[in-house]
Amino acid sequence: MLLSNSASPPICQPVTAPDQLLPSRFTASHALQPRFHAAIPGGSHTYAKGDDQFPEGLAPYLVRGRGCRVWDADGNAFVEYGMGLRAVTLGHAYAPVVRAAQREISRGTTNVGRPTVLELRAAEDFLATTGAGDMVKFAKNGSDVTSSAVKLARAATGRDLVALCQDHPFFSCDDWFIGTTAVRAGIPAAVRALTLTFRYNDLASVEQLFREHPGQVACLILEIEKDVPPAPGFLPGLRRLCDQHGTVLIFDEIITGLRWHVGGAQAAYGVRPDLSTWAKALGNGFSIAALTGRRELMELGGLHHDKERVFLLSTTYGAESHALAAMREVLATYRREPVIEHLRQAGDYLRRLLEQSIAEHGLTDYFSLQGPPQCMIYVTRDAAGLPSQGFRTLFLQETLRRGLLLPSLIVSYAHQPADIELTAERIHEALAVYRRAIDEGLDQYLHGRAVQPVYRVRN
């Protein structure tokens, strides 16, 4: 049975009757759209939240959230499964976290001219709870800490080349990564040449990198797990190869940290990196990220050592007190309550219901679920069985019309059995339309243009 928030249930979403989860209009959102695009390049501060990722006419602008519900400018309510691009694990407006941030703001130390005692307590709390490193440095977003890990690896090894896993979609907005994508305008070729790639679950591709670039690779960076679990021996093999070649192993735990295990996926799989980067779930929506790892590496960014100094992370807002307080309460919640178990059980329950629906509609070859239960996505295919953005758009179209915000299938501690069951009912209806589109043609059912990949050369 799906776990309930029994230890401290104060934050479940307000009661919303199923018939209130049927959006009736998008008038206000339509009116806001040109204003967004006039003021903000692309109309959004995050590419994955952009208009081009949602069906035409069905891109709601949100005004509030609570639990696993969000409401838009028209007053429409949605059950959400994006959860802030996986950043919100406890639910929107989770009261203990909100109260902790509010208390700290009232102290007047949000940003002062010297380190606060809270910074020390937060660092000690993070290190003791996660066990992921000997020292930690906080920042505001995952890109910054991940790029800092790369800089630290280069400084420690005296090497320039970075090797990243090409099967993982995002590491940083900085040049060393974005230069490997289709969106590389403005990035010098000389910078792009410093980044190499390897394949996930393919030790041979890593061995080849070391053969082709002996003594030149500063670090390997990858997510520990995304949609596919690590093959037996893959992670230990990476650890062995990095030790053998004097290369720093970096695990990107931006998503997996506090969603796979309180100690991150590195604890779940029992392989320790030299450095790891954390964000998203750390603040349950508040902006907080962390770089952690072995002391001898982290101390290169400190003051008291005899090696060339690394300008590691120096951010005006990296230690904002309300975000650190929020993080401490998130960690306390994980220590106190069965959050990880709930995420897995909620995802398992949703998967079981959806797989039954997929089978009933005969869509096994056209619509599938991937990833572990606490971090699922769906894959859409057309009548020929090929990956299809058009059918993804159709699915988004039909689920938005039914009160579901489903860029993915990300569950939180706020998703309860009734939410999962309602979601499955609405998805069952949407998949009936999907089935008809497979049989009769997409154009008869899709209204407007298809959503677009984020990584594309032209708009």
The domain locations on the chain are 18-93+338-444, 111-319
**Predicted local confidence at residue 20, as pLDDT:** 64
CB 393 within 8 A of CB 71: no
Nearest by Cα to 206 from 175, 247, 177, 172? 247
**Predicted local confidence at residue 309, as pLDDT:** 83
Full-model pTM: 0.93
**Predicted local confidence at residue 328, as pLDDT:** 98
CB 278 within 8 A of CB 292: yes
Question: Long-range CB contacts (< 8 A, 24+ apart) of 80-83?
Answer: 80/405, 81/404, 81/405, 81/406, 81/407, 81/408, 81/409, 81/410, 81/411, 81/423, 82/405, 82/406, 82/407, 82/408, 82/410, 83/410, 83/411, 83/412
Q: Which residues of the chain have pLDDT under 50?
A: 1-15
**Predicted local confidence at residue 5, as pLDDT:** 44
- H-type helices in 274-409, by residue range? 295-298, 321-336, 339-360, 389-400
**Predicted local confidence at residue 384, as pLDDT:** 97
Left, alpha or beta for 370 (phi > 0: left; psi -120 to 50: alpha)? beta
H or E segment at 367? Answer: strand 367-370
**Predicted local confidence at residue 16, as pLDDT:** 56
CB 164 within 8 A of CB 171: yes
**Predicted local confidence at residue 195, as pLDDT:** 98
CATH number of 111-319: 3.40.640.10
**Predicted local confidence at residue 7, as pLDDT:** 39
CATH fold of 18-93+338-444: Aspartate Aminotransferase, domain 1 (3.90.1150)
Amino acid making up residue 307: K
Q: Look up tokens 């650190």; give the residue.
A: 324
**Predicted local confidence at residue 18, as pLDDT:** 60
